Structure 1
Amino acid sequence: MNRLPFSIAAATVLAASAMPCNAPAQSAGIQRCIAPDGTAIYTDKACAAFGAEAAPMSGALVSRLVHDGADTGAINFTGQDGPRPVAVARRSAASGCARSTTQLAMDLHGAWGLGDVNRIAESYHWVGMDSTQARSVMERLDRLSAATLWDTQFFDARIGSGAMQFADASVTPAARDGNVGIMQLVFAEGSGQRVQDLEVRRYRGCYFVRF
């Protein structure tokens, strides 16, 4: 889906932030983002892909999305009263790192299902951090580990020439490393949901997340 711009008052943007959002709209895969210039973006992609911040939608807009989706059959809503997320077993640490973004998403699901911050930390990109930075990240992960993870979705940033370079066999593995997209985590929060966008980084053939 293409982004649909609407002019609104300017808003401060925080990168990769978590923010409450309306459950039906999130379940529909549509969310409202605020760009750095104050423009509202309605998209089925991660807000961070546009350098924007997730923002709540008005009740009227959500109702319209529900109505339009019901007419077209294009939207399938699953709220807090719907089925719980299916538990995914976390692979053994001996199995190694995630070799694909799909495996990374499954590892995150499994780790959150266990509620074990140490297993979640196995999927985090720690390279380049000192002990103080690592401690801060662990504290942040520990707070998130208590939340119920409902869904994960990967948004690929390797578009245009970047995707062509990634597919080029002549490009060295090291040259393919770096930020490859956004992993969007959807957590249950009260009667709604909240979204946390994490960077996905490829490092030595493995995939990790990072705030």
Structure 2
Amino acid sequence: MHLLTLIFGIVLLHKAYTLKCNECTPGLSGTCTSTVKECPSQNYQCGTMRVISYSGNSILADLNEKRCALPEECITVSLNFGLVKTKITSKCCTSDLCNTQPAPEPIKTIPNGKKCFGCNGQSCTSTVNCEGDEDHCISATVNAGGVMTRLKGCASKEVCSSSDSELISSAIGGEFSCCQGNYCNSGTSTTAGLLLLLAPLINFIMFS
């Protein structure tokens, strides 16, 4: 009898401290309607994430997401493939339905002196000037319109974290590798058009 009481007590205590968060996952239109979701465990916080993809000075996508998030997902990261740059900002909190406000806009960054190889057409010998906290070179294989395609450029260290590598590989439908040092991501490959690359890049960052 005492064992059953202890078990029920543990279950009820767990329930009492599991957060409820706003959940909103946008489509490519960038809009969605929030619903309330109970997080699966006490490990989760309420989070908002903003993903912006740029081509030059033009915005290709600006998506805002709300959901239950693990602490390690509450990060600010940047991917820079030269022709396409994608930045994510996040904001997490620890009370019920606290994720009402969108994540902040990415801060404007300037070149930091690090250089990596990038791809232009079928050649991956162009230079990508890394910006802000992009301190790694990256080579990624993404599923672009059903074709596995190689990309090269700069990334912040959080993208290259070993703790997230399996999750990111699953999200992009392929593999990626990081290295430190100018032009350390050498090699040649082919690339796809910007519109084909946009969806996997967004999936890459959203960790969903």
The answer to which structure has the higher strand fraction is 2
TM-score (norm 1): 0.23
Higher alpha-carbon Rg: 2
Greater helix fraction, Structure 1 or Structure 2: 1
